[in-house]
Amino acid sequence: MDDKSNSHIENIAKKETFTQEEKQFILDRLNKERLERQKFQEEYAMSQKKYTEEEKHRILQELNEKRIRDEHNKEMKRIRFLDKETYTFGNKTYYKLKDMEREYYLEVETCENFTSRPSIVPLYYRTFGEMKKKEVLLKIVPYSDKIFISRDAIRVYFKPFALQDKHHQG
């Protein structure tokens, strides 16, 4: 780049408002840099080695295994919440957990966000007609339709719990 162009850039850089000519100069410069970067990336991509048939097969196999795992996780999530009884208290809807020492509820809205990474989630319980909450550590496991809860975030011990099924009347 010549000295005239450099001094022109330095003068533009000090300004807060630009003339139409300066704006066009900036846009042209940015576009030129973008095109050079794009050309470099395309050349780099072309220079990468070609895969052997064995490598292609291994990659496809890994992708297929990941797809199968993802489908399985999706199916377990669907089953975990399929045909479960819901309860409405106030303006919120809850699932009831089975086999706990008292009646605990999970807010339906929060259940969509459960992952295999433990997170702090409120469990709700009713006392004298009002909903109280208790924070617990909760996670899901891909191979199970249960919800794993640890009541203590310090001494973590997860126990599996299911949600109450809908009562079918025949």
Per-domain residue ranges for the chain? Answer: 3-47, 85-161
- Does pLDDT of 51 surpass 80? no
What residues form DSSP beta bridges with 107?
94
Q: Residue 170: its pLDDT value, please?
A: 44
Which pLDDT band holds residue 155 (cuts at 50, 70, 90)? confident
Tens-place pLDDT, residues 97-111? 998 888 999 998 888
Which pLDDT band holds residue 12 (cuts at 50, 70, 90)? low
Query: In whole angstroms, what is the distance from residue 45 CA to residue 74 CA?
Result: 34
Task: Report the SS3 class of residue 113.
Answer: coil
pLDDT (average), residues 60-76: 89
Tens-place pLDDT, residues 76-93? 888 888 888 888 988 889
- Does pLDDT of 63 surpass 90? yes
